[in-house]
Amino acid sequence: MINQNTTSRDNAISDEILVAKSKNGDKAAFEILVKRYSKYVYTTAFFMIRDNHEAEDISQEVFVKVYLAIGGFRGLSSFKTWLRKLTVNTCIDKIRLKAKTSDKKVSLDSMIEDGKEILLYEFNQNVEKFFQDKETLKDVLKIIVNLDESYRIPLILRDLQDYSYIEIAEILKKPVGTIKTNIHRARKIIKDILKEK
């Protein structure tokens, strides 16, 4: 995975400035964008794909796509919104390439490999909207990562990535009613498991 270290000076530079510089071939500016968002991309990929190594590969692939396409980025949305869409679409493509997704149980602990710390705070903030007890947030994430794909992916897109139901239906090519039902069921499964603890 890409080095996560950024300086406070790097953090003070806005995405808009970094994107403009990157468009003009400034590799240092692009590297700051990569460092700023690589944990976000990796974490999203991990929750969707549930595989450390594939999440690594997807992260690399996403940033290659960004590098190749940034010249055409028109700024109609924020850079992060554009990156989020690119990440989610890359993950969905990978999922569709698999005949079947693995039914193996996945541990959140497997997200830490070789001392790499994975960024979960944004996911925690979003999950908090539905599960107010902060002490249960890690438990919620553990449950989410092991949900059946038909529940996990729509829930991630809605509750962790803030996509609308219509957008999720378009991404997953399923009726909006199905998406709403699966998300509702996913939330119920999580709440029922938490009650048993």
Q: Please check the confidence at residue 143 and state whether its pLDDT lies above 70.
A: yes
User: pLDDT, tens digit, for every residue of 107-132?
Assistant: 656 554 443 444 454 555 556 565 55
- Say how far apart CA 46 and CA 5 lie, in whole Å: 21
According to the model, what pLDDT value does residue 2 have? 38
Query: 3-state secondary structure string, 101-139?
Result: CCCCCCCHHHHCCCCCCCCCHHHHHHHCCCCCCHHHHHH
Report the share of the chain in percent with pLDDT over 90.
Answer: 49
Q: Please check the confidence at residue 12 and state whether its pLDDT lies above 90.
A: no
According to the model, what pLDDT value does residue 133 have? 58
Does residue 126 contact residue 159 with C-beta atoms inside 8 Å?
yes
According to the model, what pLDDT value does residue 144 have? 86
Tokens of 49: 């794909």
Q: Residue range 174-190: average pLDDT?
A: 95
According to the model, what pLDDT value does residue 159 have? 83
According to the model, what pLDDT value does residue 90 have? 95
Q: Please check the confidence at residue 184 and state whether its pLDDT lies above 90.
A: yes
User: pLDDT, tens digit, for every residue of 14-23?
Assistant: 999 999 999 9
According to the model, what pLDDT value does residue 25 have? 93
Dihedral sign computed on CA atoms, order 99, 90, 117, 150 = negative
CATH of 1-119 given 3.40.120.10, 1.10.1740.10, 3.40.50.2300, 1.20.1440.80: 1.10.1740.10
Q: Residue range 18-38: average pLDDT?
A: 94
CATH numeric code, 120-197: 1.10.10.10
Task: Give the model's confidence band at 194: pLDDT under 50 very low, under 70 low, under 90 confident, else very high.
Answer: confident
According to the model, what pLDDT value does residue 99 have? 53
According to the model, what pLDDT value does residue 112 have? 46
Per domain, the residue ranges of the chain are 1-119, 120-197
User: pLDDT, tens digit, for every residue of 45-80?
Assistant: 988 988 888 999 999 999 999 999 999 998 888 999
Q: Residue range 27-32: average pLDDT?
A: 95
- Say how far apart CA 118 and CA 120 lie, in whole Å: 6
